[in-house]
Structure 1
Amino acid sequence: MITLRNVTLRRGAKVVLEGANVVLNPGEKAGLVGRNGAGKSSLFSLMAGRLHADAGDFEMPPTWRLGEVAQAMPETEQPATDFVLDGDLPLVEAREALAAAEASNDGHAIGEAHVKLEEAGAFDARSRAQALLLGLGFNLQQLDAPVNSFSGGWRMRLQLARALMCPADLLLLDEPTNHLDLDALVWLEGWLQRFKGTLLVISHDREFLDAITGVTLHLEDAQLTRYGGNYTAFESMRAERLSQQASAYERQQDKIAQLQRFIDRFKAKATKAKQAQSRVKALDRMEKLAPVLTASDFSFQFREPVSLPNPMLSLRELHCGYPGEHGPITIVRNVNRTVLAGQRIGILGANGQGKSTLVKTIARELAPVAGTLTEGKGLSIGYFAQQEMDLLHAEDTPLSHMIRLAKVVSPQAREQELRDFLGQFRFGGEMAAQAVGTLSGGEKARLVLASLVWQRPNLLLLDEPTNHLDLTTREALSMALNEFEGTVMLVSHDRALLREVCDEFWLVSRGGVEPFDGDLDDYQRWLLEQAKEAAKALKDAAAAKVAAETAAAGESPVNRKEERKAAAAQRQKLNEQAKPIKSELKKVETRLAKASEERDAALASLGAADLSPQQRADVGRRLKALEEEIEELEMKWLELGEQLEQLAG
């Protein structure tokens, strides 16, 4: 159990936590949400032991093993799989113990080290590490490539795989989806849903949080509040809480005004002086409620385009790629598409398939390798690069950046006009003169958005625009894109943004670009089918390899036939023994799914504004009963699963 009791935490002069009281139970999966700069990463540092509370008590079981993603970029020639394996600390410790025992020729210690290796899963550790890498988007050829050969985003995926490799009691993940594409994100969701330890994740991806969390910790104005439920349930409960707080504040203000009127009216009258004095004391004793002061919502709009050419783009036999040492390297071939005014196109596809290459070619960042790309008359492109610094200069300030941009786009702009404009994007006062290189990722992204708005484009090319954006800014971007009169082409792993903005999809896959006939749910099902096909191909390849090795060893076909018959008979026997266990397991799974649905419905009902205290108490008791039943069902499910595993063994 993790406990924060009256914890106060400061970073320099800023108080990021004040009087925090929160409990996280073992096995709970919690989302930590709040605006950028609220102090979420500081809370992670407190839990990881890098910071200590300035007041109060923070408690975590001393035997718990912590897993988290290292933020430093690894610089090593170590193969990718070995790098990930080193994240399994029990395995590393067991290997070190074996090496020490063998060096001292201590037979007893060698035996104990082998037991530790078995407990750490040494015999399948390499395959587990490679499964993590494949799930996060690496291909077979990259499994043993040197870490230094990967770009920054891929090295962060390696750090994520290394953190997941550790059998942690507490897993801390800070924006784990920022460098993932949609298929890797879906895989990560499934992995975290199966994770048995306690999870605390910082994320601004609404659907990701809804899929994996059952608790939400909200950090705002140095106050940490726990809500039971995922992000959607949190939004509902917080809205009700703010409404109740506002009502209580208004009632108290009315009471204060009433007391003050009595005091002002009668304090000078001798006959009423005593009563007036009692009202003064009552006023002094009254615990003042704070008004509901939430940070103002961020919003912006794209300016109306000067013109809307139609069609905007015509791609004919277009080949996209990069210049190479021995000639261009083609990534995407034979693209034949037309982009019309007003279209909202989501571009889907796994990492490395060529989404960004296609977008960069349209954005004129890369020259076409072959074919034609015809632009409509008056086309004005607004491009948001996946790496914001591709469009910014570290030594610039937001103001100097806008001044240089305005010389090209709007020569009449005055400095004060630019300052006012930057203020709309939260670059007011001293922030307008702060070096871009010192800005946070979210601030750089807002500056790029400001640049796009100033340019008045009629075609927006957005390559992962939500990386580093908090939920409020993501919602503002979604609203602005829906009101935008031009055309949008969007690459994003944020499914909420894709659902809200796009009405058609292109799929970049296997070196081509084709329309995808379906929605995001269909795409996720398609990804699962692709993963199954890939797994089957790997299995078939492994079987073929074993067959070839057997044939090379000269093993008799007759012996193999007899072995297959014996194995079939054994499987039949095991199937008969497993039938009743599987039947009971199915019943447990059915009831577990139903109980989970009832729990989610009960959690959602807590957000209803018209619940009476008695009804709320009844729901609470029902929730407790459901949680206990779910825990019992999960234990039963594990027991039955172990029985099946023993039979299989």
Structure 2
Amino acid sequence: MIVVKNVTLRRGVKVVLDRASVVFAPGEKVGLVGRNGAGKSSFFALLNGGIHEDSGEFSIPAQWQMAQVAQDMPETEQSATDFVIEGDSVLLAARAEVAAAEASDDGMAMAHAYMALNDAGEHDAPARAQALILGLGFSTAQLDQPVNSFSGGWRMRLQLARALMCPSDLLLLDEPTNHLDLDALVWLEAWLKRYAGTMIVISHDREFLDAVTQVTVHVDNAKLVRYGGNYSKFEDMRAEQMLLQQAAMAKQADKIAHLQKFIDRFKAKASKAKQAQSRVKALERMEKIAPVLADAEFNFEFKEPINVPNPMLSMLDASFGYPPPADAPAGTPPTVIVRNINRSVLAGQRIGILGANGQGKSTLVKTVAHALTAISGEISEGKGLSIGYFAQQELDVLRPQDTPLEHMIRLAKDTPAHLRAPGQSGTEQSLRTFLGTFNFGGDMVKQAVGTMSGGEKARLVLCMIVWQRPNLLLLDEPTNHLDLATREALGMALNEFEGTVMLVSHDRALLRAVCDEFWLVSKGAVEPFDGDLDDYQQLLLDEARRVREEAAAALKKAR
């Protein structure tokens, strides 16, 4: 077992663990949670030998094999399959033993080496590696493509596959879902449930933690506090503790009163029925959520839109995609991703956009947000439509060299006075004050955005959206860099939002909390999805199984 006893750990002058103790039994699957900066990654560095304790006792069984996801971006011309196979350290050692035995011309050594190679799984290594690669969202055509041909996010998926390929007694996963879409995430959950070793995972995805862990360790005030149960069980137990504190109770009461007031006011009004139902949903979860919100880096709300057109927009025989590259020969046609879309977005709708990677979810959102131009067809917008757009890549809407204050000043200048809310001033002081409500204070307002963390960039994009008072929110993976508490704050803010929401996310807890209906982007079409998230997850698992079986059959035939 892993034993941490009275360990003190410092990073520079900061004490991240102070006489902390915890024990992990073999085979336990543990979620490591805590606020950003609490020391989770430092604790991982202690486990993998990257740093050493300043005092106390720490031990891991010497014979345990450890696996973790390498954080460097791989640069190699190896094929995806060969790169992942090399994650199997036992197989690599067996191959080296065979090479050494053959070089020595020792018959007995060669016999032992070939037996070890067979035991290490040489015969099915390509099939095992390819099952991992396909499960993480790659296509069969990409199995033999060089690693260097993939973008950064896809290379990090290959690093994850390589870690899973390694036979291990201890698996350390630090935010493994960050580069995954929902289809790959569902597959990873199923794989980790079958993992037989000890696993410790850092994640800000509530449903992922609930699915794959049975123990939760909270890094809190430089201590390691162990709870029996997954994240939701931990949250329940911690909520009970925090509700004893008057501050949390007062905050909860205020929130409940706010939600109840809206429900009472609009529950009988047909045009507000969906928003009222969302508040009911939020109220049901409030007792558990309020203490978690107390831990959020900031809390916020989307202001009531100035007006709410209905319909918000209509798409008629629309096709979306990408224009040809600038260096393409004249006459090169655009790339069409989704076509013949005939859909309307109505006031008050809360739409979750589902679809496997590459099917066109982001293309749909980008086109509605005017970041791309429709290739054909019409998009007609309601009078007074105001869009708040959260791009999956924050730097699509941010300028790395500019500061938060410069972003807000430019935003204020670009917003005509007649479109501003009453009392919404564009003066530098008012913008500084507004930035402060999103934890951009002091020197941070003049810090270049390019030097900020992913969470800080996400916070700035949310700040800019809230200031605009939109009536249509287009959110493409808004939670990628947000911690659990801030994700809850976002979910509550969306439930209180008076306008319309279109949401792409692999955070199922957020989708369940916010969305009343789903659209499925698949095979070039955008259609309503007749089912809930559980139905969609089963669809993804069935499809992943079909792809793996087809790949295995093709590999067998090739032999």
Task: Please indicate the TM-score interval, normalised by the length of the shorter structure.
Answer: 0.7 to 0.9
Q: Describe the shift of the 1:534–1:407 C-alpha distance in structure 2 as closer, same or farther (beyond 3 A).
A: same
**What residue in structure 1 maps to residue 137 of structure 2?**
137
Written as runs of structure 1 = structure 2, the 5 A alignment for 1:135-284 is: 135-242=135-242
**What residue in structure 2 maps to residue 427 of structure 1?**
440
1:353 aligns with 2:367: no
Give the Å deviation of 1:437. 2.1
Tell me the alpha carbon deviations over residues 168-194 of structure 1, each in whole angstroms, 9 at most, x when there is no partner: 111111111111111111111110010
**What residue in structure 1 maps to residue 479 of structure 2?**
466
- The residue identity in structure 2 corresponding to 1:169 is D
Counterpart CA distance in 2 for 1:135 and 1:399 is 43
1:398 aligns with 2:387: no
Q: Describe the shift of the 1:144–1:103 C-alpha distance in structure 2 as closer, same or farther (beyond 3 A).
A: same
Counterpart CA distance in 2 for 1:410 and 1:295 is 37
CA contact (8 A) 1:298 1:472 kept: no
**What residue in structure 2 maps to residue 340 of structure 1?**
346
Q: Describe the shift of the 1:122–1:536 C-alpha distance in structure 2 as closer, same or farther (beyond 3 A).
A: closer
Tell me the alpha carbon deviations over residues 474-529 of structure 1, each in whole angstroms, 9 at most, x when there is no partner: 11111111111111100001111000100010001111111001111111122233
Give the Å deviation of 1:245. 8.2
Give the Å deviation of 1:54. 1.4
Counterpart CA distance in 2 for 1:34 and 1:168 is 26
Could you say what secondary structure the match of 2:527 adopts? strand
Tell me the alpha carbon deviations over residues 325-357 of structure 1, each in whole angstroms, 9 at most, x when there is no partner: 332111111111111111100000100111111
- The residue identity in structure 2 corresponding to 1:383 is Y
Counterpart CA distance in 2 for 1:402 and 1:212 is 41
- The residue identity in structure 2 corresponding to 1:450 is C
Could you say what secondary structure the match of 2:226 adopts? strand
**What residue in structure 1 maps to residue 36 of structure 2?**
36
Could you say what secondary structure the match of 1:305 adopts? coil
Could you say what secondary structure the match of 2:367 adopts? helix
Could you say what secondary structure the match of 2:75 adopts? coil
Written as runs of structure 1 = structure 2, the 5 A alignment for 1:20-59 is: 20-59=20-59
Tell me whether 488-497 or 419-428 shows the greater mean CA deviation. 419-428
**What residue in structure 1 maps to residue 506 of structure 2?**
493
Counterpart CA distance in 1 for 2:473 and 2:294 is 32
2:518 corresponds to which of 473, 491, 505: 505
**What residue in structure 1 maps to residue 415 of structure 2?**
409
Give the Å deviation of 1:540. 6.6
- The residue identity in structure 1 corresponding to 2:539 is W
CA contact (8 A) 2:65 2:168 kept: yes
CA contact (8 A) 2:134 2:548 kept: no
Could you say what secondary structure the match of 2:232 adopts? helix
1:447 aligns with 2:453: no
Counterpart CA distance in 2 for 1:151 and 1:136 is 14
Give the Å deviation of 1:78. 1.1
- The residue identity in structure 2 corresponding to 1:418 is L
Tell me the alpha carbon deviations over residues 290-325 of structure 1, each in whole angstroms, 9 at most, x when there is no partner: xxx974663111122222121111111111111233
Give the fraction of aligned pairs with identical amino acids, expressed as a percent.
68
The number of residues matched between the two structures is 501
1:372 corresponds to which of 375, 378, 400: 378
1:514 aligns with 2:527: yes
* Bigger-Rg structure (1/2): 1
Tell me whether 320-329 or 470-479 shows the greater mean CA deviation. 320-329
1:310 aligns with 2:310: yes
TM-score under structure 1 length normalisation: 0.74
**What residue in structure 2 maps to residue 254 of structure 1?**
none
Q: Describe the shift of the 1:181–1:98 C-alpha distance in structure 2 as closer, same or farther (beyond 3 A).
A: same
- The residue identity in structure 1 corresponding to 2:35 is R
Counterpart CA distance in 2 for 1:454 and 1:294 is 23
CA contact (8 A) 2:186 2:541 kept: no
Could you say what secondary structure the match of 1:109 adopts? helix
Could you say what secondary structure the match of 2:378 adopts? strand
Q: Describe the shift of the 1:120–1:246 C-alpha distance in structure 2 as closer, same or farther (beyond 3 A).
A: farther
Tell me whether 449-458 or 91-100 shows the greater mean CA deviation. 91-100
Q: Describe the shift of the 1:212–1:12 C-alpha distance in structure 2 as closer, same or farther (beyond 3 A).
A: same
Counterpart CA distance in 1 for 2:374 and 2:461 is 25
Structure 2 unpaired stretches of 5+ = 248-292, 418-424
Give the Å deviation of 1:397. 2.2
Could you say what secondary structure the match of 1:145 adopts? coil
CA contact (8 A) 1:36 1:442 kept: no
Alpha-carbon RMSD across the aligned residues, in angstroms, is 2.1
Tell me the alpha carbon deviations over residues 512-567 of structure 1, each in whole angstroms, 9 at most, x when there is no partner: 11100111111112223333444555567678x58xx9xxxxxxxxxxxxxxxxxx
Tell me the alpha carbon deviations over residues 80-125 of structure 1, each in whole angstroms, 9 at most, x when there is no partner: 1111111111111111221222223232332222122122111111
- The residue identity in structure 1 corresponding to 2:355 is G
Tell me whether 375-384 or 395-404 shows the greater mean CA deviation. 395-404
- The residue identity in structure 2 corresponding to 1:51 is I
CA contact (8 A) 2:127 2:555 kept: no
Tell me whether 23-32 or 234-243 shows the greater mean CA deviation. 234-243
- The residue identity in structure 2 corresponding to 1:409 is T
Could you say what secondary structure the match of 2:42 adopts? helix
Give the Å deviation of 1:399. 2.1
- The residue identity in structure 2 corresponding to 1:234 is F
Counterpart CA distance in 1 for 2:196 and 2:11 is 33
**What residue in structure 2 maps to residue 283 of structure 1?**
none
1:100 aligns with 2:100: yes
Counterpart CA distance in 1 for 2:552 and 2:91 is 26
1:526 corresponds to which of 536, 539, 546: 539
Tell me whether 93-102 or 122-131 shows the greater mean CA deviation. 93-102
Structure 1 unpaired stretches of 5+ = 248-292, 550-649
Q: Describe the shift of the 1:296–1:198 C-alpha distance in structure 2 as closer, same or farther (beyond 3 A).
A: closer
Counterpart CA distance in 1 for 2:79 and 2:101 is 26
- The residue identity in structure 2 corresponding to 1:64 is W
Tell me the alpha carbon deviations over residues 28-76 of structure 1, each in whole angstroms, 9 at most, x when there is no partner: 0000001111111111111111111112121111221111111111121
1:328 corresponds to which of 315, 330, 334: 334
